[in-house]
Amino acid sequence: MKRGIELKSLSVKKSGIIVTALLLLLTVFSAGVLAGPSLKKITAYQNSNVKVKVNGIAIDESSPEGPMYTIVYDGHSYVSAKGLAEGMGGTVKWNNSTQTVEVSSGESDLSGSKGIPDKDNSNSENASTSTSKPEKENSNSENASTYTSKSDINTVPGYSSSTNVSTMYNDNKGAASHALTLYLEALKSGDTTKLKSWMKDNTQKNQYGTDSYEASAKSLDSQIKSFRALNESDVIDALVVSGIKEAKAKSFEVNPNNDDSTYSKTLKYLINAKGNGYKGTFGVYFSYMLNKETNKYYMSQLLVY
């Protein structure tokens, strides 16, 4: 048994397609004085030729730091828990207090220490974000937005600190629909110009005068390139047609487990696409952060996957 590594065999069958993959959960069992014995230094290889698919759809191996290609060690393939779980419609969180990678929802206290997989988080600060218009009829409610969106295809740029996450989510459905449509079109054509322009227009600056647009745009390029390289054109075409239909109908998954904390709100809009025997889940994340100077939430980051 290899110390610090838990390997599980994961088998899924949908629409007559069977996919078997190895889900790697890198776990550090304890902290403090026991941290040393729990870690084992190894020499392994990252193989970009290994493809991992769920129901015929390649998983998203992109990250802001670069592609998370499969690691080969001692004759076994180790796959990103985040990429595989999200490919199956799930989410991943790093639980620092119990030193556990959890395929579940919930907030966690992240650490950047060596040996800690603190980037295996579906719901991290850098998770994707989206856009949408306010659809409230009562603009005088106590949770009414501080601002109004520029149109039904753009996000609400900011909210008062008392606004709840449900209000934000409902307000931005129109923007999420538009963002997903642009994303799916980019997956088919490879051209991200329209989506990047939209992202730039909808990303707000923080109290220090900077924003997250460049990082989000870089991540987008990596995702589009990876998806188009790993999937055949007929698969992409079928999923794009179905996905755009779902996005325009705002057929988002119910109970998306939006992140709701004092200083940040992350809104998740997910759609399920089907076509020619293939299935795929696509989504956009909109992250609102609290500006401590103004005591208002602003649109911090927009990401797609």
Output the CA torsion sign for 151, 183, 19, 65: negative
Residue 248 contacts residue 270 (beta carbons within 8 Å) = no
Residues 6+ positions from 266 with CB-CB distance below 8 Å: 123, 127, 129, 258, 259, 285, 286, 287, 288
- Three-class secondary structure of residue 243 per DSSP: helix
> Rounded CA gap, 29 and 26, in Å?
10
HSE of 20 in the Cβ direction (CA atoms, 13 Å)? Answer: 1
Predicted confidence at residue 118, as pLDDT, reads 59
DSSP secondary structure letters along 40-107: -----EEETT---EETTEE-----TTS--PEEEETTEEEB-HHHHHHHTT---EEETTTTEEESS---
- Three-class secondary structure of residue 302 per DSSP: strand
Q: Which of 204, 201, 199, 200 is nearest to 146 (CA)?
A: 204
Predicted confidence at residue 142, as pLDDT, reads 33
Q: Could you list the pLDDT tens digit for every one of the 305 residues in the chain? A: 433 333 333 333 333 333 333 333 333 333 333 345 566 778 887 777 787 877 667 777 776 666 778 888 877 888 888 777 777 777 777 777 777 888 754 333 434 444 555 566 655 444 444 333 333 333 333 333 333 344 578 999 899 999 999 999 999 999 999 999 999 999 999 999 999 999 999 999 888 888 899 999 998 999 999 999 999 999 999 999 999 999 999 999 988 888 889 899 999 999 999 988 889 999 999 999 999 889 999 999 998 88
